[in-house]
Amino acid sequence: MTFWSNTLSNVLGGIGAGLFFLLCYLMIQWFLRATDLVIGYSWRWETRDGVVVFWPAFDIRNRAHSKKYRLANIAYTVKGTPHWFDNKGIMGIVIEPESMNFIDGLPVTNVHNLAEATHLEVTIRDQSKRSFWLRGEGPGQQGKGWTRRNAFKLRALLEKWLIAME
């Protein structure tokens, strides 16, 4: 190898290694952000003036060590069609780092039995416009898609092994 081909090889190798480590850093940051907030919910109801009203009760856990979240609103949809938007029930609530919160939403309009409630899809948004989509069947399920489910399983496994990610 000549001097210039050796130098070019070293420079390209250094750039490649730098890009590899940058990609690893970005993947870890995505992983931490995708799995730091866990949201579950169930439906609560009571009879008010002879009418049964339903509202969601959220179990929100912030597993991040330093990041706070401020909640904005809840969107209720049925198969992608908007049903109702709750802009007042959780607006401004701060989810502190390493905290567990039990928060009630406002009663959902035009929902008077459990079958109607469980067909709703619930989306919680925070003030940075990050959305958390929750399935409507039975107790709330966290997120959609196999990537997110597997990321939560991996984070649970790493926490079980006591490997600090932050």
Mean pLDDT value across the chain: 84
In this prediction, residue 80 carries a pLDDT of 80
- How many Cβ atoms are within 10 Å of 67's Cβ, its own excluded? 15
Query: Which token pair is 157?
Result: 């496994």
pLDDT at 129 over 60: yes
In this prediction, residue 138 carries a pLDDT of 41
Nearby residues of 144 by Cβ (< 8 Å), 6 or more positions away: 133, 135
Architecture category of domain 36-160 in CATH? Sandwich (2.60)
pLDDT at 136 over 60: no
What angle do the packed helices 146-160 and 3-35 form, to 10 degrees?
90
Residue that wins the pLDDT comparison between 7 and 166? 7
- How many residues are there in the chain? 166
pLDDT at 135 over 70: no
Angle formed at CA 13 by CA 12 and CA 14, multiple of 5 degrees: 90
Report the distance separating Cα 160 and Cα 97, nearest Å.
19
Nearby residues of 103 by Cβ (< 8 Å), 6 or more positions away: 57, 58, 60, 71, 90, 93
pLDDT at 148 over 80: no
In this prediction, residue 145 carries a pLDDT of 65
